[in-house]
Amino acid sequence: MLTPQHRQEALSRAYVQAIAGRCGMSVSTPFPDYGIDLSLHEITIVGNRRLETGVRLDIQAKATTRSNVSGTNLRYDLAVRDYEVLRFAEAGSHRILVILALPKSEEQWLSQTEEELILRRCAYWFSLRDWPATMNRKSIRLSVPRTNVFTVPALRAIVKRIRARGEA
């Protein structure tokens, strides 16, 4: 059986894939993984063919049951190694962090019937583009606005901004 952390990671990837699928985007998994868990690709229709537009969004997906959620923010401690991957200025694509905040009890993470599949709580997205280097050695505390819920409209807006201005 997978560790609890690996089960959380699988759910965070599934969350991102579900949102991307609903947006009509394709999803690829980089191999080997050097800090990017999933790449989302915008698809367009040209004539009677579907093609990738070249707009790509790289995702580092995390999940936690220990998130500190306040009225306006989710505080999350991100490993410095992951921070550096996400803020890397020379990356050829845009990168965001997606954090799935799960209930503490694993029994509450997911439920299923013939009518629905429910993944409890939600994920938040955060861009570290142009953030400064850190002197921290282990982790850096992020304060992610709770308004940054990773939803279908949010992903569409992020892709629109990337297409228009080149930023997430």
Q: Where are the domains of the chain?
A: 4-165
pLDDT exceeds cutoff 70 at 168: no
How far, in Å, CA of 63 to CA of 11, rounded? 8
Please, which residues have CB within 8 angstroms of residue 160's CB and are 6 or more apart in sequence?
none
Domain 4-165 belongs in CATH node 3.40.30.10: no
Q: What is the pTM of this model?
A: 0.93
> Which DSSP helix (H) or strand (E) runs through 26?
strand 26-28
Mean pLDDT of 50-79: 91
How far, in Å, CA of 120 to CA of 65, rounded? 11
What is the three-class DSSP state of 91? coil
Report which of 102, 123, 128, 168 is spatially closest to residue 19, judged by C-alpha positions: 123
Residue 153's CB is within 10 A of a number of other CB atoms, namely 10
pLDDT exceeds cutoff 80 at 128: yes
pLDDT exceeds cutoff 90 at 67: no
| CA dihedral of residues 43, 49, 54, 56 (deg, nearest 10) | 20
The residue type found at 41 is H
Are the CB atoms for 168 and 158 separated by under 8 Å? yes
pLDDT exceeds cutoff 80 at 147: yes
